[in-house]
Structure 1
Amino acid sequence: MTKKKAIDFLRVTHLRGPNIWTYRPVIEAWLDIGLLEDFPSNKLPGLYERLVAWLPGLIEHRCGVGERGGFLERLKEGTWSGHVLEHVVLELQNLAGMRTGFGKTRSTGDIGVYKMAFRTREEHVGRAALEAGRALLMAAIDDTPFDLAATVAALKEKVDDHCMGPSTNHIVEAATERRIPHLRLTDGNLVQLGHGAAQRRIWTAETDRTSAIAESIASDKDLTKTLLQACGVPVPEGALVRSAAEAWEEAQDIGLPVVVKPYDGNHGRGVSLNLMTEADVVKAYHLAARKGDSEAVIVERYIAGDEHRLLVVGSQLVAAAKGESLWVTGDGVGNIIDLVDSQINTDPRRGTTEDAPLNALAPQHGAEIILELERQGLTAYSVPQAGQKVLIQPNGNVAIDVTDKVHPSIAQAAALAARVVGLDIAGVDLVAEDITRPLSEQRGAIIEVNASPGLLAHIKPAAGEPRPIGAAIVGHLFGQAESGRIPIVGITGSRGTALIAKLVGCLVHLTGKHTGVVSSEGLFLDQRLVTAANAVNWEAGQRLLINRTVQAAVFESNARMILAEGLAYDKCSVGVVTDMDGFEQLGEFYIHDADAMANVVRTQVDVIADQGVAVLNAANAAVAALSELCDGEVIFYGLDPALPVLSAHTGAGGKAVTLHDGKLVVIEGGSDTVILSLASLKPGVIEHPDSLLAAVAATWALGVPLDLIGAGLRSFDPRARAPNR
């Protein structure tokens, strides 16, 4: 125990799955606040004023009061430092751009020692915010300086380094809205939506339906044009060239003005527009060759009009953005760099990070801008006269939403172009004078089809209405009736849970589903032993959920896992609780009595889906009481059909599994159905009747036919060694 006004971290843990605090990942910190136990916030002079001055956003924290300003009310009245730290850490994450709002702080029973948990979307950022929050709070308590700007900047850098990009996060949030789970597979933007065999994968604007052949076609601009033209899609006349001289010759044949671009480029890199002279064409050729992967360059007819980016998802146009030219006006003093910084880069929508819908411009470094300035007889260091207008970038601001204005025939042409190339998500670049009119009425054409298109211009347009791109992509990957979920059975307790998991896995596998099991006996796939070590841990659980062959999964867990890691899944179809024994072995987690243990074990029931089933031991009063917390159905099991809880439940029409006269019986709607006689089972099963009943109830809850359950039980031998894989 510390004996000073300080906050010491005794333990910091990232709980990656559902836990005693919430369904979502949190960081749990055990705090020793030392002498601050005797100094709640109202006894620390100036603390309130300094915190509000540094973190004015605390006004939005509702806290337990339940209304805006609730936390500040608590701060004035007096609350302890652990609770204050919770809110400081949440607000620092918000300032860093990683919005979150959940936090709780509870006493452990030891004087001055608290458990504090807060929601974080990324562990590295959360841990850094925790350290920064302690430093800020201690500076506020001690009335010492604190550099908030530098702290927030460092946290923002961690967000950029470790968090999913804004476009990927937008898709994940859309999946979450549909209750589709997600797993991040790398430190980048590769994300799995759904579990096991029901999963799909995204890599921002690429999916596991995106064809590698289609991506190769899209990167070959000449081949793309050939295919589009063959299918009747309007494209500009042009040709592939391999030298500057050939480029000028082709330009003359096509007719000036022309466009020069890499044949394998993307996102507008190396593209020069509206070229009229040999010198400009030659320079543009060398730029395009440098920006592409080879000397091959496309020269094509220049089409007057505005550039548009049309986003096609599946077979539908879901968003469209228009470009506009960027100009600066000289003042006779500043050079082009200064003018761009003061007239273009000051736009708050521009920046260098992923969450900026528009890029900041650097005229001295951008090859396309340098070439455009040279065509006007200028450089980035030229000083235009007062009032002189200088073109910086033609059509370089494709971020103005025009989705609702697109003519139906243009939308159809864009969707056709994506299909011709073979992309399930495509950015179709089109030039037209008027997007509201058919291309046949103007000199419009599709100039490119891009794989992995940028999404941010549609999610956060510079002007106009944001579009629900994430919902469109999730809808493309999952049908309306699809949830991305597989049947999951979670089993928590300390009595016979490994046998229950093994037996449920065996019975579910008999239905023809590829079934995975993680238990204290190992990790199994279709009853084959894959890993012999104890697999009651988060990592082993993730291995099952990532496996694309797994159609059903069974997870054994216990109170220690819930406290140390959290469950490996967010929701389950069936949750089994056998008992609440063993709190005596959990003193290191400040679990000292049966009530505290019940708060841990209830997590298994809390994660049961709305249409799921809780399987509860009717002989254990504390376990049976969990039925009140279940959002779905309840099946009780017990050796004695006369158990008060069980008989009351079945008397009200509920379901139960029990024994009667040496027979295994299921009860539903007041009617009994005999599955089999215990005498027909192998000895290893008869020795553990409680586990047998729990396994039957869980399998029945999944909809496995009773006759198949009976057949599986007769052949099941728990003593048989599972074959290794």
Structure 2
Amino acid sequence: MPRFDDIQLLRTTYLRGPSIWTYQPVLEVWLALGALEQHPSSQLAGFNERLTAWLPDLIEHHCGVGTRGGFIERLHEGTWMGHVLEHVIIELLNLSGMPVKFGQTRETSTSGTYRMVFRCPEEAVAREALARGHALIMAAINDQPFDLKAAIQAIKTAIDDNYLGPSTACIVDAAQERRIPHVRLNDGNLVQLGYGAAQRRIWTAESDQTSAIAEGIAQDKDLTKRLLAAAGVPVPEGVIVASADEAWEAAQDIGLPVTVKPSDGNHARGVTLELYKQENIRTAFALADQEGSQVIVERYIQGMEHRVLVVGGKVVAACRGEQVFVTGDGKQTLAELVAELNRDPRRGIEEEYPLELLDLQLPNIQLELARQEVTPETVPAPGRQVLLQRNGNMAIDCTDELHPDVAYYAELAARVVGLDIAGMDLILKEAGRPMKEQDGAILEVNAGPGLLMHLKPSSGAPRPVGQAIVEHLFPGSSEPGSDAGRIPIVGVAGSRHSAFIARLVGWMLQLSGKLTGIASSEGMFIAGRQTQTIDTANWTGAHRLLTNRLAEAVVVQTSARSILQEGLAYDRCLVGLVTDMDGWEQLADHDVRAAEQMVRVLRTQIDVVLPHGAGVLNADIASVAELSVLCDGEVLPYSLSADNAFIATHRQSASARAVFLRGEDLVLATGAKERVLGRLALLRPAQGDSHAPAALLAASACAWALGIAPDLIAAGIRTFEYKI
């Protein structure tokens, strides 16, 4: 069999928002098949068998056939390698723990060259998957070995390095379920939920409502305990110590056994429980001293560690920990028994695992072993239990068991410290008994608590903690029709006077009382002031406005090239305007070679209109007017003629709105009812566009769609000062 040269990856473009392909981010890849254009899958000896041996779950890909096994059927019939690569990448992502269902491959006007896309929420992960998928398909074509496990691990590593952590991801997922948009603000877990002035920010399980003072209090465990005790919350007696000698003295004063821990540590690091002996307390002091700025010795309380999550003043989840033991069999060493325990599928090093791998070299585990006079090489007698960890294994859900009295103290503690989202560490003998009856206590109050223990408990039901946090940040967002997190966004697409229209609509919004940002080819404007003079009619310009906490409304001018190269910066808009289908001649590099191909590009602006929004369309251009069938919201056409056939048909509905010229009058019509906004000669801005009539109609239609009163629209046109 001849050896085929690699499929050429001519260019890759990450489309970060809605595009001609889909609403979600995708990686678009231009492929040149070379000689493989003459060799579909059915003509490559052994290719299908090698491919399905590596990726047997390709049987689950429905492909265009629409049934299980559809893609396999296409393989046997004969399909081209661009299409196969699409499915290979999707399957590699699935195997790496990132489920993907969307992909498409289309031939360009150049024979043998294809555009292939697949959905992926992170660009770095998408590019890694592309590289690994490309290598796999060439190995299958040329009958060469391929390390599938290494490829999957490489993609998993990219996911771990680039994707949101589980706590942040669950909040973002809950927001998306409520159609609240999100914007990632850094490479970590700082995420904006919503747009502009309606946004809220989260960082893992902290929000922009989380007080810095409250967080500082929570980090100081001694101060936290004193404030809680003053409010009547049960806490263990304790004292700060500066040396191992002081730790032993304090332990004797408090009464043995004691707990030694850092004053400002986290994740149970440096915490040692139930200490009786001086040598163990001295060792525990050194361990705690490495993890925090001060060391606390406090009374040890009998019971199991519990974590209670409080969101917005209410308990939403609770779980309890378990001590970790291994039981000897008289044959295996302690190290071998621990290795067996680490094979538990709930344990792992990544954040997705509810339980950590056990490392016998960790100081706290070594201290536990020393207290029991064993080492990793010890072979425990049959039935002997060796304790490895006393705390930090929160994995058993007990939300439904929690006594109202325990919930009361947890909620009180959150209020005392001042945290809107807090994780309470408690010691309880039983979650279902009152706190003081069982000598229970709150040990710590944690800001930014981890949520994984509630999302993936080892036992019990997962809890919808992400939804609770989103409801706290956006009250009422679960109600049907909620517009939580959204501000009015107007998208202006097309070539004719679009910068002028964007700025005029922005001016009208500003007059209506909304602090408005405008991203246009003539610069960026906020509240009427030009803040940038460069072209901002692109993803970056719009993104800057959408992340601006001052912006109460945004107008974004968008070009066909920007849609093709970047995608839209917003997921949905309240008003989408398409003025024309011009400019196809400049888009040959995107394989746009005829005017009718512009429909697929500019329809994107109408595809993203919200159901309660409006698509504003130039009815004087038939291909623009025909986009009306794609709009989820109201259709509001405009025309230079009152006799426009599309508008005449549109107005047959009593509620249908339209804007047009009748002679020199600019008319707003609802069904058969008409209102004259004014004569063009009076409305035209002094410094207006030389072809302003169509632009004024478009801007007036957008403003009307936004609910701006006709009198204010007229005043806005007359007072608009158009300067470049």
Q: TM-score range by the shorter chain?
A: over 0.9
- 1:331-350 to 2 correspondences below 5 Å: 331-342=329-340, 344-350=341-347
What is aligned with 1:540? Answer: 541
Give deviations 1:153-198, integer Å, cap 9, x for gaps.
Answer: 1111111111111221121111111111111111111111111001
Q: Does 1:665 align with 2:667?
A: yes
Q: Does 1:298 align with 2:302?
A: no
Return the TM-score normalized by structure 1. 0.96
Distance 1:154 1:461, change over 3 A: same
1:682 equivalent among 681, 685, 700: 685
- Work out whether residues 6 and 35 of structure 1, in 8 Å CA contact, stay in contact via their aligned partners in 2: no
Instruction: Give the Å deviation of 1:266.
Output: 1.7
- 1:85-100 to 2 correspondences below 5 Å: 85-100=85-100
Instruction: Give the Å deviation of 1:685.
Output: 3.1
What is aligned with 1:353? Answer: 350
- Work out whether residues 520 and 536 of structure 2, in 8 Å CA contact, stay in contact via their aligned partners in 1: yes
Q: Does 1:406 align with 2:410?
A: no
Instruction: Give the Å deviation of 1:76.
Output: 2.0
What is aligned with 2:479? Answer: none
One-letter identity of the residue aligned with 1:308: H
List alignment gaps of at least 5 residues for structure 2.
477-481
List alignment gaps of at least 5 residues for structure 1.
none
- Work out whether residues 336 and 363 of structure 1, in 8 Å CA contact, stay in contact via their aligned partners in 2: no
Q: Quick one: distance in 1 between partners of 2:414 and 2:99? A: 35
Q: Quick one: distance in 2 between partners of 1:682 and 1:142? A: 68
- 1:504-523 to 2 correspondences below 5 Å: 504-523=505-524
What is aligned with 1:709? Answer: 713
One-letter identity of the residue aligned with 2:705: A
Instruction: Give the Å deviation of 1:645.
Output: 0.4
Give deviations 1:505-553, integer Å, cap 9, x for gaps.
Answer: 1110001211011111011111211111111111111101110000100
One-letter identity of the residue aligned with 1:584: E
SS in 1 for 2:587: helix
Of stretches 127-136 and 651-660 in structure 1, the one that deviates more from structure 2 is 651-660
One-letter identity of the residue aligned with 1:587: A
Instruction: Give the Å deviation of 1:683.
Output: 4.0
Q: Quick one: distance in 1 between partners of 2:685 and 2:272? A: 79
Q: Quick one: distance in 1 between partners of 2:475 and 2:280? A: 51
- 1:266-277 to 2 correspondences below 5 Å: 266-277=266-277
Instruction: Give the Å deviation of 1:383.
Output: 3.4
Q: Does 1:182 align with 2:178?
A: no
2:415 equivalent among 419, 439, 455: 419
Instruction: Give the Å deviation of 1:333.
Output: 4.4
What is aligned with 1:390? Answer: 386
Q: Quick one: distance in 2 between partners of 1:50 and 1:316? A: 56
- Work out whether residues 617 and 635 of structure 2, in 8 Å CA contact, stay in contact via their aligned partners in 1: yes
- Work out whether residues 678 and 686 of structure 1, in 8 Å CA contact, stay in contact via their aligned partners in 2: no
Q: CA RMSD in A?
A: 1.5
One-letter identity of the residue aligned with 2:460: G
2:443 equivalent among 444, 447, 451: 447
Runs ≥4 residues deviating over 4 A: none
One-letter identity of the residue aligned with 1:92: L
Give deviations 1:13-42, integer Å, cap 9, x for gaps.
Answer: 111111100011111011111222222112
Give deviations 1:603-661, integer Å, cap 9, x for gaps.
Answer: 11001111110000010000000001111101110110101001111232311111223
- 1:225-240 to 2 correspondences below 5 Å: 225-240=225-240
- 1:374-389 to 2 correspondences below 5 Å: 374-389=370-385
- Work out whether residues 310 and 414 of structure 1, in 8 Å CA contact, stay in contact via their aligned partners in 2: yes
Instruction: Give the Å deviation of 1:686.
Output: 6.9
Of stretches 384-393 and 327-336 in structure 1, the one that deviates more from structure 2 is 327-336
Of stretches 47-56 and 704-713 in structure 1, the one that deviates more from structure 2 is 47-56
SS in 2 for 1:235: coil
One-letter identity of the residue aligned with 1:297: V
- Work out whether residues 497 and 689 of structure 2, in 8 Å CA contact, stay in contact via their aligned partners in 1: no
- Work out whether residues 431 and 446 of structure 1, in 8 Å CA contact, stay in contact via their aligned partners in 2: yes
Q: Quick one: distance in 2 between partners of 1:484 and 1:601? A: 26
- 1:471-482 to 2 correspondences below 5 Å: 471-480=467-476, 481-482=482-483
What is aligned with 1:118? Answer: 118
- Work out whether residues 370 and 380 of structure 1, in 8 Å CA contact, stay in contact via their aligned partners in 2: no
Instruction: Give the Å deviation of 1:278.
Output: 1.9
What is aligned with 2:82? Answer: 82
What is aligned with 1:262? Answer: 262
Return the TM-score normalized by structure 2. 0.96
How many residue pairs end up in the alignment?
714
One-letter identity of the residue aligned with 1:466: P
- 1:322-337 to 2 correspondences below 5 Å: 322-337=320-335
Instruction: Give the Å deviation of 1:431.
Output: 0.8
What is aligned with 2:53? Answer: 53
Q: Quick one: distance in 1 between partners of 2:685 and 2:339? A: 81
- 1:555-634 to 2 correspondences below 5 Å: 555-634=556-635
1:692 equivalent among 693, 696, 719: 696
Distance 1:686 1:248, change over 3 A: closer
Instruction: Give the Å deviation of 1:4.
Output: 5.3
Q: Quick one: distance in 2 between partners of 1:81 and 1:463? A: 45
Give deviations 1:362-414, integer Å, cap 9, x for gaps.
Answer: 112x1111111111122334333343221111134211111111111111211
- Work out whether residues 205 and 450 of structure 2, in 8 Å CA contact, stay in contact via their aligned partners in 1: yes
Q: Quick one: distance in 2 between partners of 1:433 and 1:396? A: 16
Q: Quick one: distance in 1 between partners of 2:62 and 2:426? A: 48
- Work out whether residues 128 and 154 of structure 2, in 8 Å CA contact, stay in contact via their aligned partners in 1: no
Distance 1:145 1:4, change over 3 A: closer
Q: Quick one: distance in 1 between partners of 2:278 and 2:4? A: 78
One-letter identity of the residue aligned with 2:319: A
Q: Quick one: distance in 1 between partners of 2:470 and 2:646? A: 44
Q: Quick one: distance in 2 between partners of 1:22 and 1:505? A: 28
What is aligned with 1:464? Answer: 460
Q: Quick one: distance in 2 between partners of 1:580 and 1:376? A: 79
Distance 1:686 1:102, change over 3 A: closer
